[in-house]
Amino acid sequence: MTAAAVGTIPLRLRLREYYELCKPRVVMLITFTAIVGMFLATPGMVPLDVLALGSTGITLMAASAAAINQLLDRHVDARMARTCGRPLVTGTLTVAESLGFAAAIGTAGFAVLALWVNALTAWLTLATLIGYAGVYTLYLKRATPQNIVIGGAAGAAPPVLGWAAVTGTVDPHALLLFLIVFVWTPPHFWALAIDRHKEYAQAGIPMLPVTHGLPFTRLQVLLYTLLLVAVSLLPFVFGMSGFVYLAGALALGCVFLSYAIRLRFAPTPGLPMRTFGYSIVYLMGIFSLLLVDNYLR
């Protein structure tokens, strides 16, 4: 699409395209886990200024990272049915517009955190942005089938960022939250990759189902899900949560495990995407339980 054609697009549509550039569903999940980290960091109510400014800064920088990811991946996205409708692929946003937007909201998010929250949160969030948009997207995604395992560290950081926003420290309990998201990421994303393995192969991305085949990837999903269920019990083991969380985490984990077992031993069409969808429900459920249990106790 030419620059002149882009200029004729209605403002409402262009705003929607900027919104989609930020991967809003991903950013909302990131912000949610960060906010839960804030509430778990204090026995009382999170100060309203920290809650508002911390979540705003983290959200803006997460959105910036997502926009940079789409900018760097635009040629790959054009070869995949799942992503070929993204704004940079269709031409409804130009590279210059997208880069300027990502820089603006990323800078704004960093300024909010540095000026009104604390320096530790600002720099940790910037490191997370670089890790996801730079290290993962530019290198790991194209270099190794373990890309999502190694790169998952960036996606697992938001609870730590939220905790740091309240306390100005990185607490061991915050690292437990990090560990849950870190171990959750491979079975979550590999379920999607199983469903879209032909597209990844066509795009030249060495995702695990492309390099090692579907049976091996299904086995890895099962093994990581078993590990996830075990890791999800650590907040109870270390006294961070109580029996309400324990019961809920076991129930959520059993459902996730049932998906992983069926995916490994009785795969059917549509099951990978149902597993992917439930994995999101699982993570939101785990963090919701942590929050509810914290205040019930």
**The 3-state secondary structure of 19-75, one letter per residue:** HHHCCHHHHHHHHHHHHHHHHHCCCCCCCHHHHHHHHHHHHHHHHHHHHHHHHHCHH
pLDDT at res. 10: 61
Provide the residue ranges of all domains of the chain, joining segments of one domain with +. Answer: 1-169, 171-297
pLDDT in tens, the chain (297 residues): 544 445 555 656 678 899 999 999 999 999 999 999 999 999 889 999 999 999 999 999 999 999 999 999 999 999 998 899 999 999 899 999 999 999 999 999 999 999 999 999 999 999 999 999 888 988 888 889 999 998 889 999 999 999 999 999 999 999 999 999 999 999 999 999 999 999 999 999 999 999 999 999 999 999 999 999 999 999 999 999 999 999 999 999 999 999 999 999 999 999 999 999 999 999 999 999 999 999 887
Highest CATH level, class, for 1-169: mainly alpha
Q: What does the buried/exposed string (b/e) look like for 191-201 if buried means 16 or more CB atoms within 10 Å of the residue's CB?
A: bbbbbbbebbe
